[in-house]
């Protein structure tokens, strides 16, 4: 079993013992999503794949927050934000904008990218380095700005 999966299992047990309903619900969502992917693909997820899954879950919740705020439902947006806070406990420390720009600049230089047509090459190099540590939408904007 991957170390991240073990950490999630331990956190779930701790949340049960501490009777933290909101945290427990989010942890169960995470565990259910991991299990769903494992069953669908008949594999055991490694830490890198789990981080990608957590990153995706965070993005989904950010999108939901935007929709809830547009619909005038701040209480639902708050629930989604609380879920993001729990998910981020298991993601690596977020990169600063300066660190992301440094990674993007190195990738542009390495690929010799000169135009937007080369964006895919740059993103292919950048994504593994920032997965789970930065919002890919923000990274994409920085890559576009570098041309």
Question: Could you count the other beta carbons within 10 Å of the beta carbon of residue 56?
Answer: 13
User: Helices H, strands E: what count in the chain?
Assistant: 7, 0
* 25 and 80 both lie in a single domain: yes
* 83 and 114 both lie in a single domain: no
Cα 16 to Cα 36: distance, rounded to the nearest angstrom = 22
Question: Could you count the other beta carbons within 10 Å of the beta carbon of residue 5?
Answer: 18
Contact 110, 69 (CB under 8 A): no
Which residues are CB-neighbours of 40 under 8 A, at least 6 positions away?
none
Cα 123 to Cα 5: distance, rounded to the nearest angstrom = 28
Q: Which CATH number characterizes residue 50's domain?
A: 1.10.1510.10
* 84 and 101 both lie in a single domain: no
pTM reported for the whole predicted model: 0.79
- The string over 92-131, giving b where at least 16 C-beta atoms fall within 10 Å of a residue's C-beta and e elsewhere, is eeebeeeebbebbeebbeebebeeeeebeebbebbeebbb
* 22 and 75 both lie in a single domain: yes
Q: Which CATH number characterizes residue 120's domain?
A: 1.10.10.410
User: Which of the listed residues 88, 106, 129 is the one where a domain comes to its end?
Assistant: 88
pLDDT digits (tens, 9 = 90+) for 52-72: 899 899 999 999 999 999 999
What number is the average pLDDT over the span 1-20? Answer: 93
* 61 and 103 both lie in a single domain: no
pLDDT at 48: 85
Number of domains in the chain: 2
Task: Report CA-CA distances (Å) from 129 to 30, 62, 73, 93, 143.
Answer: 23, 22, 36, 13, 14
Residue 41 is inside which H or E element, if any? helix 21-41
* 115 and 49 both lie in a single domain: no
User: Which of the listed residues 88, 119, 136 is the one where a domain comes to its end?
Assistant: 88
Cα 18 to Cα 125: distance, rounded to the nearest angstrom = 42
Residue 1: pLDDT band (50, 70, 90) is: low
* 75 and 109 both lie in a single domain: no
* 75 and 102 both lie in a single domain: no
Examine the pLDDT at 44 and tell me if it is beyond 80. Answer: yes
User: Which of the listed residues 40, 59, 88 is the one where a domain comes to its end?
Assistant: 88
User: Structural domain of residue 71, as residue ranges?
Assistant: 3-88
């Amino acid at each position: 079993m991957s170390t991240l999966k073990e950490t999630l299992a331990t956190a779930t047990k701790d949340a049960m013992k501490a009777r933290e309903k909101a945290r427990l619900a989010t942890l169960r969502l995470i565990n259910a999503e991991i299990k769903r992917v494992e069953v669908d693909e008949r594999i055991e997820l490694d830490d890198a794949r789990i981080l990608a899954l957590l990153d995706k879950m965070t993005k989904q919740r950010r999108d939901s927050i935007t929709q809830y705020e547009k619909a005038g439902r701040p209480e639902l947006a708050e629930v989604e934000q609380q879920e993001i806070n729990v998910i981020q406990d298991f993601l690596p420390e977020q990169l600063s904008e300066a660190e992301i720009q440094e990674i993007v600049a190195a990738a542009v230089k390495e690929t010799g990218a000169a135009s937007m047509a080369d964006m895919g090459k740059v993103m292919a190099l950048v994504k593994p380095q920032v997965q789970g540590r930065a919002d890919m939408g923000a990274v994409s904007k920085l890559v576009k700005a570098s041309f």
